[in-house]
Amino acid sequence: MDNNSAAFDLSGKSVFVTGGTGFVGSHFVERLIESGCTDVRCLVRTSKRFLEGLPITVVKGDLFSDEALQEGSRGVNYVAHIAALTRATSWEVFESANVSGTVNLLEAIRTSAPTVENVLITSSLAVVGRGTSGVADESSELDPVSMYGRSKQEMESVIVPFHDDLPMCTVRPPAVYGPRESDIFTFFKTLNTGFCPILGSGKEPALSLVHVDDLVSGMMASMVSKAGIGKTYFLGSPRNYSWHEIRDASATALGRRVLTIPIPLFLVSYIGAASEFYGKLTDTYPPLNKEKAAEIRYACTMCDSSKAISELGYNPDIDLWPGMETTISWYRQNGWL
């Protein structure tokens, strides 16, 4: 399957999307529209954000608004569940948003869309955690090290009984970058000051980092393909990157010469704790917190997409260098840098 919108003809189809106002979700909604879908329904809590001006139907509510979930899913062909909480200070908050919210959605679909063709469930590489010391694939054990990863593992567990009634496909993206991304963006802001923190030696492949356009192509293929029903897939980058490659591609796109600052892995936990403490003083919750530090230090950060490539025709072809060019260009054009 080609990695472009022409490969997905969704004319006459209806899709209900959760998380459409966010980074990945907004790109997914745009791809639906490019693919001919004229009935795109998006669950929106307050602001449309990146969806402003797009030809969509806004369904006001959240994953705990039963009427909104039933309204949005009523009679649809597909559902794409992209909404997720990635940062929180307690397990209860993670569990509510990522586990209980997913159950509420599936119960609504079961009632309001009994003939749905497929439900796309978005999980994460974070479910693997310590499950492997190398590159994760679908056979890797799950041993998450963060509350976020644990909540996604719990989510994958609680949806199992729904497979009897609903066709579903689960995808696990690794780290994602691209226009509109706001967490990895903090790394680019640091580079733009002329400094680059590097974990460990920085020389070995250490990270799967997928461009949002590639990820959305894989999500679309997972949603429309009957081959993926009942299965789970990693949707990663064309290859795994070293921190030195990420530094060089980012610095080149920024047009900056940067000073590399090596950071021993054992210091990451202290930096995360310090960032979180500062966040409490400023009433914010930083992207690099104790939970994220645990993932960086202990969790698997690379995945193998061979199964999705073989079974779904997934074709991640945006390499790091051109991907960084388009990403940095967007940040500058939109006043982020």
Token digits of residue 337:
């840098």
Instruction: Categorize the per-residue pLDDT at 2 as very low, low, confident or very high, splitting at 50, 70 and 90.
Output: very low
Using DSSP's 3-state secondary structure scheme, residue 124 falls into coil
Give the mean pLDDT of the chain: 92
The residues, any chain, with a CB within 8 Å of residue 79's CB and separated by 6 or more, are 15, 16, 17, 18, 73, 105, 109, 113, 116, 118, 119, 120
Strands 168-172 and 118-122 come out as parallel
Please compute the mean of the pLDDT values over residues 9-29 and round it to a whole number: 98
For 5-181+211-237+301-318, the fitting CATH number among 3.40.640.10, 1.10.10.10, 3.10.20.30, 3.40.50.720 is 3.40.50.720
- 284 — pLDDT class (breaks 50, 70, 90): confident
Amino acid at 313: G
Distance CA 239, CA 319 (A): 8
- Phi, psi (rounded to 5 degrees) for 85: -100, 120
pLDDT of 292 over the 80 cut:
no
Q: Is the pLDDT of residue 4 over 70?
A: no
- Confidence grade of residue 5 (pLDDT, cut at 50, 70, 90): very low
Question: Over the stretch 97-132, which tens digit does the pLDDT of each residue have?
Answer: 999 999 999 999 999 999 999 999 999 999 999 988
Report the percentage of the chain scoring pLDDT > 70: 95
Looking at residues 76-90, what average pLDDT do you find?
A: 95
For the segment 31-48, the average pLDDT, to the nearest whole number, is 96
What torsion do the CA atoms of 104, 108, 113, 114 make, to the nearest 10 degrees?
90
Secondary structure (3-state) at 122: strand
Q: Which two tokens stand for residue 260?
A: 């590399």
Domain ranges of the chain: 5-181+211-237+301-318
CA dist 145 and 148 (Å) reads 8
Lowest-confidence range among 38-42, 184-188, 199-203, 255-259?
199-203
Res 1: pLDDT: 39
Confidence class for position 291, pLDDT limits 50, 70, 90: confident
Sign of the CA dihedral running 87, 93, 95, 96 = negative
Confidence of residue 133 (pLDDT cuts 50, 70, 90): confident
Q: What is the pLDDT of residue 293?
A: 73
